Amino acid sequence: MSPTLKALLCLRLSVGLRTPVQAGPLPKPIIWAEPGPVILRGNPITIWCQGTRKAKEYLIYKEGSPAPWKRQKPQEPGDKAKVFITHMTEHDAGIYHCYYLSSTGWSGHSDFLELLVTGMYRKPSLSAQPGPSVPRGATVTLQCGSEIWLDTFHLHREGSLDPPQHLRLQNTSAPSQANFTLSSVSSGHQGTYRCYGSNSTSPYLLSQPSDPLELLVSAQDYRVENLIRIVVAGLVLLVLGVLLFEARNNLIRTLDAASL
């Protein structure tokens, strides 16, 4: 065997030990965290990975580690892999993904799960402009501010499994503030929000959560309201036009009578 072929074989074996060989058309697994991807330091969290009913084994990887973080076989056919962390720490924060093994080989990897641990800095403030109660279709800005130096802010709706919104500031002077704009709000935006601050040097370590802010979205729609305004303005213009027309006719009749 030539030195070149030997080097390529060693490289392939090394990569194979780090990442499972994908089987091809297998559906990718789903990964999520409960109660959510943002966890206060010291609180418990469960990471789930679910593949097809034919899954025989699961691998969960944490970014930065070449070896699997957890390896688990389902207790029953179609069962999910479950990893329970009793006390979340800064070492558990990071990005995760998973694979599963079936009779035909390994699946592709799941989407990436970003776990954020909070409680590292003082809590920021959270407010809503123009206010926490807005009509459907309106635009609301949630302002997250900190009196200490932080260059990144995160906005999360409680109970949502979706990752938080992130906003990196260009101006890093203290105090700092990030504006999260929610456009054309609907009932899906309604809920309780908290925001967090962090430093870009430690992106998965967040501050204490802000006080909760409950966003209420009413059934009123700005588009309907604007339509009503247009109709009312049209009626006013119509009435003014009729009055001007009557006044013009009266003036003509007066002039005709005076000329007789």
The span from the CA of 74 to the CA of 7, in Å, is 37
| pLDDT at residue 60, as a whole number | 96
129 & 111 share domain: no
pLDDT of residue 225: 60
Instruction: Tell me: do 93 and 136 sit in the same domain.
Output: no
Report the distance separating Cα 9 and Cα 15, nearest Å: 10
Both 94 and 160 in one domain: the answer is no
* DSSP for residue 22: B
Residues 6+ apart with CB under 8 A from 226: none
Based on the fold, state whether residues 154 and 112 are members of the same structural domain.
no
Measured in whole angstroms, the distance separating CA 105 from the mean position of its chain's CA atoms is 33
Q: Identify the band that residue 230 occupies on the pLDDT scale cut at 50, 70 and 90.
A: confident
pLDDT value for 224: 58
What is the tens place of the pLDDT at every residue in 58-105?
A: 999 999 888 899 999 887 777 799 999 999 999 999 999 999 999 889
Cα–Cα distance for residue pair 164/102, rounded to 1 Å: 33
Find out whether 95 and 104 touch, Cβ atoms under 8 Å.
Answer: no
**Degrees (nearest 5) of the Cα angle 227, 232, 236?**
145
Q: Of 37 and 223, which is predicted with more confidence?
A: 37
Give yes or no: residues 13 and 106 share one domain: yes
pLDDT confidence of residue 118: 94
**Cα 165 to Cα 11, 59, 150, 175, 201, distances in angstroms:** 38, 28, 16, 20, 18
Integer Cα distance of 181 and 178 in angstroms = 10
Q: What is the CATH number of the domain that holds 108?
A: 2.60.40.10
Question: Which residue range forms the structural domain that includes residue 135?
Answer: 125-222
Overall number of domains in the chain: 2
Q: Is residue 79 part of a domain?
A: yes
Question: Beta strands 105-106 and 165-168: pairing type?
Answer: unpaired
Per the CB < 8 A criterion, the answer to whether 127 and 214 are in contact is: no
Assess whether 9 and 106 both reside in one domain: yes
Mark which of 52, 84, 118 sits at the end of a domain: 118
Q: Record the tokens describing residue 141, joined without a space.
A: 């800005």
Give the Cα separation of 42 and 46 in Å (integer).
13
**In the predicted structure, residue 12 carries a pLDDT above the cut 60:** no
The closest alpha carbon to 127, from 64, 215, 51, belongs to 215
Average pLDDT of the chain is 84
- Strand-pair category, 133-136 with 213-221: parallel
Helices (H) and strands (E) in the chain, counts: 2, 17
pLDDT digits (tens, 9 = 90+) for 187-197: 999 999 999 99
- Stated pTM of the model: 0.66
Q: How confident is the model at residue 238 (pLDDT cuts 50, 70, 90)?
A: confident
DSSP state of 163: P
pLDDT classification of 253: cutoffs 50, 70, 90: low
Same domain, 136 and 99: no
| Of 165, 173, 117, 184, residue with least CA distance to 145 | 173
